[in-house]
Structure 1
Amino acid sequence: MRLLRSTDLALRVLMRLAVAGDSTPTTREVAEAMDVPYTHAAKVVAELQHMGLLTARRGRGGGLGVTEDGRTASVGAVIRVFEGEGDVVDCDGGTAVSPCPLRSACRLRGALRTAQEAFFASLDPLTVEDIVASPTGPLLLGLTPKQ
């Protein structure tokens, strides 16, 4: 399974903020440190804030911080939100492509749905704190933007 860029970025933002300690980097600083466009980071930060996983304060002395819910958030749950609940394949064809002629008798769609749920279920027990434990956390703190 391939994750969307926004899902990958959301996990990296949470991880970075979970090891930030007392520092409260801005969205722009996080985007630069991760070498991603500011607009992408801002969208992800807004969704994470909406989910209650991070706080964002504006103005002087503002910045981003991970909440306690963000530290204990299930990695599987975060991925589900960013990936959506859709199927791995679009057997109905959407609006641009005709439906798959095999869809009424195909077992692939069900098998892929089962595999997708197994993927999520394997990540459900992991929390953000789990994935930033040493040696990952100290390494995250040492990352600097590309020059």
Structure 2
Amino acid sequence: MRLLHSTDLALRMLMRLAVADAPGRGGPPATGSAPTTRQVAEDMAVPYTHAAKVAARLTHLGLVEARRGRGGGLVLTEAGRTASVGALVREFEGEGDVVECEGATPCPLNSGCRLRGALRRAQEAFYAALDPVTVEDIVASPTGPLLLGLASHRSGPKTS
């Protein structure tokens, strides 16, 4: 199974934001230290427009708070920190089947095929394996320190 680019980016964005307040771990970062959507896009090496769409969707889901103005940025909410990875993947991937058996050219085996059911069970097993995993779980060491390294690399001295 292959995840959509937006699903992958949403997971990586949540992971990046989960370590943004790593020294405090439990509250919002100090004023001015929350990364902006543009900074997260740079950290993740993705186009800003893609990051902005994903950030908007994560904000709509209540997993991220987007603060505007001076000292603004993206902040992971408590719901985002404890969110189930399985539920998040379901939300971004949608409820569709792994294969399309109907549509413009329906499969001639549709009425007696066992593949569709087997693939649906496999897909559900995939999600079930991710359900108990939280965003907080996936940023535990050694991942968290690597993500912090991305942020320090971005904010490090720039050469002209």
Q: Is residue 32 of structure 1 aligned with residue 42 of structure 2?
A: yes
One-letter amino acid of the structure 2 residue matched with residue 133 of structure 1: A
Separation in structure 2 between the aligned mates of residue 134 and residue 36 of structure 1, nearest angstrom: 24
**Which ranges of structure 2 fall in alignment gaps of 5 or more residues?**
22-28, 155-160
Q: Give the aligned partner of residue 147 of structure 2.
A: 140
**Which ranges of structure 1 fall in alignment gaps of 5 or more residues?**
none
- Aligned residue for 2:136, secondary structure, equals helix
Superimposed CA distance per residue, residues 96-120 of structure 1 (whole angstroms, 9 cap, x where no aligned partner) = x410000110000000000000000
Q: Is residue 4 of structure 1 aligned with residue 11 of structure 2?
A: no
Separation in structure 2 between the aligned mates of residue 7 and residue 134 of structure 1, nearest angstrom: 22
- Residue 122 (structure 2) aligned to one of 110, 115, 121: 115
Q: Give the aligned partner of residue 68 of structure 2.
A: 58
Separation in structure 1 between the aligned mates of residue 53 and residue 98 of structure 2, nearest angstrom: 24
| Residue 6 of structure 1: how far off its partner (Å) | 0.2
Equivalent pairs counted in the alignment come to: 142
1:89-128 alignment runs, 5 A limit: 89-93=99-103, 97-128=104-135
| Residue 59 of structure 1: how far off its partner (Å) | 1.2
- Aligned residue for 2:117, secondary structure, equals helix
Q: TM-score normalized by structure 2?
A: 0.87
Separation in structure 2 between the aligned mates of residue 117 and residue 49 of structure 1, nearest angstrom: 26
Pairwise CA RMSD: 0.9
Separation in structure 2 between the aligned mates of residue 27 and residue 112 of structure 1, nearest angstrom: 36
- Residue 85 (structure 1) aligned to one of 74, 95, 108: 95
Q: TM-score normalized by structure 1?
A: 0.94
One-letter amino acid of the structure 2 residue matched with residue 92 of structure 1: E
| Residue 36 of structure 1: how far off its partner (Å) | 0.3
Structure 1 residue ranges (4+ consecutive) displaced by more than 3 angstroms after TM superposition? none
Residue identity over aligned pairs, in percent, reads 77
